[in-house]
Structure 1
């Protein structure tokens, strides 16, 4: 579905990503693991259109999308759940979900919006109980549900998640990843970058290791879990 080829992304004088190449298969659950500062968030932001590469390409279903504006990338079927959730704190839960469905509402396709809203609220019933509540008053786990739900409102084909377990209790992390696995089983392509390597690889089918802006290891997630280098560097074994 997605092919990233020789991608370079720079901040100032230095490259954060240096020749990254990897593929995301259609309908799969792919993990990107690596230490803090490895470039994981930069890759996610570049794929989603929030940053522009200095070199390389990002190809979605045969179409080049690198360098496109973020709203156009969303219309191509790619949605990002950002690091730190980034909910609109003063707005209600319902208004946050409306923001995720802007493309439907701008076109006047309210029936499609309502169907998508029903889908998200069935996936996260807790949000249905809090539609009128300001997003900033939700717990961390509820805000993560809202951030995922907001991204799902645009009916993406590829869902990018940047550190979805950050700051959450282990039980909530388990629930979030179980929901992602369910979405993948329903046909949604999932690409997750995480420092929580073990839980991510246990849910993924395939994984990549990013170190200092370069992919240093790729393979089936089960093999990466057993790899001695991964165990020592990322699993605390």
Structure 2
């Protein structure tokens, strides 16, 4: 489904990523865990087309999408939920969701838009109660639901999430991850970058560990949870 080969990326002062190789299977929940500054967000930015790799490739369904740019990556079926949510604060919840469906609305495909909207509001009923409310006035958890919902409005095949638990209460984090597992059960591929390693691995099928832009461990999520090195470095063991 999604493959990263020998990925290098830079912000202009030396590489941040150093030859990453990842495989994200169709319909799976795959985790990339690591400390702050390890390179997780750079991985997401590169996959989603916000950055171009300095070397290597990102393959989706066997085709190289490394140089497409963010809009064309979305059209191919990949959607990013960015770190910090980044909702459009002055716009209403309804308007934020419309922004996620731009590729259908510019074609006046209201049928597809309405179908995606119904799907998102069923997944996150709280948003249905807030449709006319400015996004900036929502709670942190509601904003994260909105950010995920906005991404889902593009009807993606792959959902990319950068630190979805950031700043949220544990109960809200649990609800968010349960929603992501439910999405994967409907054959949506989910790839999550997170510092909150324990809850991420407990909801994932497979995991990778990144340190200083290099992969240092990978394996089934249940095996990583039990790994002494992961426990000591990331799970407080």
TM-score (structure 1 length as normaliser): 0.99
2:3 corresponds in structure 1 to 3
CA distance in 1, matches of 2:150, 2:22: 27
Q: Displacement of 1:123 after TM fit?
A: 0.7
2:140 aligned with 1:140: yes
1:157 corresponds in structure 2 to 157
2:13 corresponds in structure 1 to 13
2:222 aligned with 1:214: no
Q: Displacement of 1:13 after TM fit?
A: 2.1
CA distance in 2, matches of 1:186, 1:91: 30
Q: Deviations over 1:53-110 (max 9, x none)?
A: 1000000001110021100000000000000000000000000000000000011111
Aligned-pair Cα RMSD in Å: 0.5
2:183 aligned with 1:166: no
State the aligned residue count. 237
1:47 corresponds in structure 2 to 47
2:197 corresponds in structure 1 to 197
CA distance in 2, matches of 1:67, 1:42: 15
Q: Deviations over 1:125-152 (max 9, x none)?
A: 1100110000000000000000000000
Q: Deviations over 1:15-35 (max 9, x none)?
A: 100101110001101000000
CA distance in 2, matches of 1:138, 1:17: 35
1:77 corresponds in structure 2 to 77
In the TM superposition, structure 1's runs of 4+ consecutive aligned residues that sit over 6 Å from their partners are none
CA distance in 2, matches of 1:12, 1:56: 17
1:27 corresponds in structure 2 to 27
Q: Classify the secondary structure of the residue corresponding to 2:85.
A: coil
CA distance in 1, matches of 2:12, 2:119: 42
Q: Classify the secondary structure of the residue corresponding to 1:187.
A: coil
Q: Classify the secondary structure of the residue corresponding to 2:49.
A: coil
CA distance in 1, matches of 2:155, 2:222: 30
2:124 corresponds in structure 1 to 124
2:109 aligned with 1:92: no
CA distance in 2, matches of 1:14, 1:147: 32
CA distance in 1, matches of 2:62, 2:9: 21
CA distance in 2, matches of 1:125, 1:222: 31
Q: Classify the secondary structure of the residue corresponding to 1:45.
A: helix
Show structure 1 runs of 5+ residues with no match.
Answer: none
1:177 corresponds in structure 2 to 177
Show structure 2 runs of 5+ residues with no match.
Answer: none
